[in-house]
Every structure is written in C-alpha cells, then in structure tokens.
Amino acid sequence: MRRSILSRMAQTPFASVVRRSVLVVSIAAFPVWVAAQQGSTGAPQGAAGQAAGRGQGQGRQGGAQQGVAFPGGRMNPDDQSLIAAAPSRGLFSQEAYTQYEILAPGTEQFAITYFLESATVGATTISNATRAGSEGTNLSVFDPRTGQPLKFTYEEQPNGDHAIKATLNSPIPQGGVGRVLIYKTYKDARTYQMNGEDLVWVRSLAGYRLGVVLPKGYAFTSANVAAQLSTTATGQLKLSFASPSGASNNLTVHAHKTSVAFPPSTFTDMFFDDMKTLYTLDAPETGKINVEQTYSDTRKGTSATLSQLDYMAVNDLKVVDLDTAKVLTATKRGDSASVALDVPITNDKQSAHLRLTGVINDGTYRVENGDLVFQRTVRGLRNTIILPVGYEVSAVSQSGTIGRTQDGRVFVALVNLNGENSYRVTIRARK
C-alpha cells in the first residue's frame, strides 16, 4: 500500500495534478504566505538549525493550566467560559498530508505515510513528534527530491513523546522549503479496537489533508467525518478528507467484514494534491493580480511542463525550485512551456517542488459600482485572496474563512471540498 499511493500519484496525468496547483499572488521575493504565517500558524521551531513538526493525528487538548481546546479557542477549566483564539492569520491550512492504513485486525497497528514540510530558513533537520502511547516501528525517511533515504534518529523525549529527527541533505534556503517523506507503523490499542469481528478505529487527527484505508475484506459500517470515498488499486476502501478551518478531525470509523469485491475507483485522492494558490490584489483601478503558484510535479522525466499556462495568462513569469530556491529558466515551445530539472524524476518517491510567480491582468479583477470585484474560476483544493490595504470584504460566493495578514490586509481562504477541480467565485469588498 505504501508503494501504491506513491505509484498512483506518479501515474496521475499532470492535468489532474497541476489543476490543483497553488497560485500565490505576491509582490515580494519572499513568499507572502510564508511571511504571514511566521510566528502564528507556521510549524513550531526547535533549537537552532532545526524545524519541528507536531506529530500528525495528535489532536492534543490543553491541560488544566490552559483549558480544554475547542475549534476557535479554549474553555476555561474554572468557570467553563470560552476563551477566544487570536484572529486568524494563516493564509493556508492543510500543509501536510497523512495517510493511515489500518492493518490486519488484532494487530492494533496502522501504517502511516506522512509528507511534511518546513520553511524554517537554515534548518538542517526536520522533526516529527509522536504521541506518547503510540509505539512506532518500521521507520524510514526519504528525500522527495531524490527519492533516496535520509539519515534520522528516533528518540524518546522528556515529556514521554518520541520524535523522528531527519537530517536534510542541505540547509533550508531563503525562499525555499524543506520536505521529507516519512513511513512508520504505530501500535495503539486506544485507537484500534475490535468488537467481535468488527473493527473500531478512533483518533483525533490534526487539521491536515488526510486519508484512512481499511484492511482488505472490510467495508464501512459508519464514518462520522464527511469524506471522499474511493477504492484503491488493491481493492481496499479509503476515506479522503480535510478540515476547511484546519481544526482537528475527531474521526470514528466502524467497519465490518465483507465478501464484496470492490473494483478500483477511476478517480484519485483529491486531498493528496499539495497545490495551493494565493492571489494578492493590487489597487483595484490597475486590475492587476500578483500570483504565486506552488505545487509538486511527480511526472517522470528531466523536465517539468508548466501546464498551468494553458488556462492562465501570466506576465513576468518566474519559476523557482523550492528545494534549492534556484530560479529555473522556462523554455517555450509553441503554446507550451517547461523547465529543466536539476534532478530527473525516476522513481515513485520523487517530485519536483516548484513555485510560479507572475502577474495576471485579464479582467477578472475590477471596480464595479464602487465595489472591488474579484470574479474568476479558481482551481485546486486551496485558494486564498488577499485584498488591497483598507478594503473590507462584503460578500463571498463560496465557503471560506476570513482573516487578516500581519500588516492588516483582509484575506479570504477558500478550501474546495468538492470532487470537481475548478469552481467560480465572486468576492466583493469596499473601502
């Protein structure tokens, strides 16, 4: 199963991979979305030269000192009053992907595939803390750029947690992103239980992009989180989902044995896709949208085709390899463009991590009867729109969260939970 998820990713036509790319509108060399999240919702930082990532699926509650966590804040343990969280500043959620494959009944084990990123400049390691009580075995860590193993340690921490600390091939560069691919198996009787021949799997899953796979020969009796349901190439049923707000998902799965043979689904896991798009709006009278797109390209070969340009007219195009922060030269051939890769993609654990930036001025952003209007078809799972300074949002036609950047600009963060890759959105604002 570990190989199959990566194989399916690598075999997915690029049209379905790039379509979920992240366009980020930015006028600064340093990514706006990284700058906005530093010190607020970014990955916690450890000692110098380290980047720490909380263990996926932790869903921890605060102790008596802090109160019990709930979406949007905490509950005071003394008088049960609600203490609101600080205003939202995170332009994107779902920055990591985790798949849980529930193993054979009676083992109390589940295999985890975890893609983790960090933008901590200068970090030479990435850490993944795991919850006390979840016994970790079958550990391995890979570099998604080369597909080769990385050195790592797995040690108990003073608080009882264990942590994987992976050593990167090079420090995370300014304007770049470090990433690792982690495989591990947990044994946890609290999470994985049996009720006769029926299995029960209950776990608080952190607000990432998530997948949960049943053992072969089992079908869902119930699952309490809205999710995409598919069948893997091996005939196993799989839930795929994410939390729009980035809050934890308290998932309970009940499953029973079945003799039904399930054929593989014709569609892929939409939540596996890491693409995200940020649009930063210039002054309304200019009609300009600064855009930055970040995504992983898994197609094998020595170059990456910039298929986004098929549906988006971008001026001042710039392409950066996020693993190295190196600017890549785009070569045009007819109506298409591509960039040469320093490391060819030859195996299923590899991908090229790219960022495209540029300017769009195609009439989808304008002033109408005194309103700022952003109206266009957006693609992919995650799209965030940053309004100009001084503007207040008055209408959003699709579901999204609202927040402010550190410099006070309002943003709307959209998360597409539908199977369709693209949808039209209209945002109105006034000054």
pLDDT per residue of the chain (431 residues) written in tens, 0 to 9: 454 445 544 444 333 433 333 333 333 333 433 333 333 333 333 333 445 544 444 333 333 345 566 656 777 778 878 888 778 888 887 788 999 999 999 999 999 999 999 999 999 999 998 777 777 899 999 999 999 999 999 988 887 788 999 999 999 999 999 999 999 999 999 999 999 999 999 999 876 899 999 999 999 999 999 999 999 999 999 999 987 777 788 899 999 999 999 999 988 788 898 999 999 999 999 999 999 999 999 999 999 999 888 888 899 999 999 999 999 999 988 778 999 999 999 999 999 999 999 999 999 999 999 999 999 999 988 999 999 999 999 999 999 999 999 999 999 999 888 778 889 999 999 99
CA distance 139 to 281: 44
The whole-number pLDDT of residue 207 equals 67
- List b or e across 15-39, with b for residues whose CB sees 16 or more CB atoms inside 10 angstroms: eebbbbbbbbbbeeeebbbbbbbbe
Q: Among candidates 382, 421, 414, which has minimal Cα distance to 22?
A: 382
The whole-number pLDDT of residue 324 equals 97
Query: 220: exposed, middle or buried (C-beta count within 10 Å: 0-12, 13-18, 19+)?
Result: middle
Rg of the chain on CA atoms, in Å = 22
Q: Locate 195 and state its tokens.
A: 């009720």
Coil vs helix vs strand at 55: coil
The whole-number pLDDT of residue 20 equals 36
Opening angle at CA 40, ends 35 and 46, nearest 5? 90
The whole-number pLDDT of residue 72 equals 64
- Asked if 335 and 344 count as a contact pair (C-beta separation under 8 A), the reply is no
The whole-number pLDDT of residue 85 equals 77
CA distance 279 to 358: 10
In sequence order, the 6+-apart residues with CB closer than 8 A to the CB of 122 are 48, 49, 171, 172
Q: Which amino acid is at 18?
A: V
Q: Locate 136 and state its tokens.
A: 């970790």
Coil vs helix vs strand at 393: strand
Q: Among candidates 15, 24, 13, 92, which has minimal Cα distance to 311?
A: 15
The whole-number pLDDT of residue 66 equals 56
CA distance 312 to 301: 24
Superfamily of domain 276-430: tricorn interacting facor f3 domain (2.60.40.1730)
| Kind and range of the H or E run holding 5 | helix 2-11
CA distance 277 to 209: 16
Coil vs helix vs strand at 189: coil
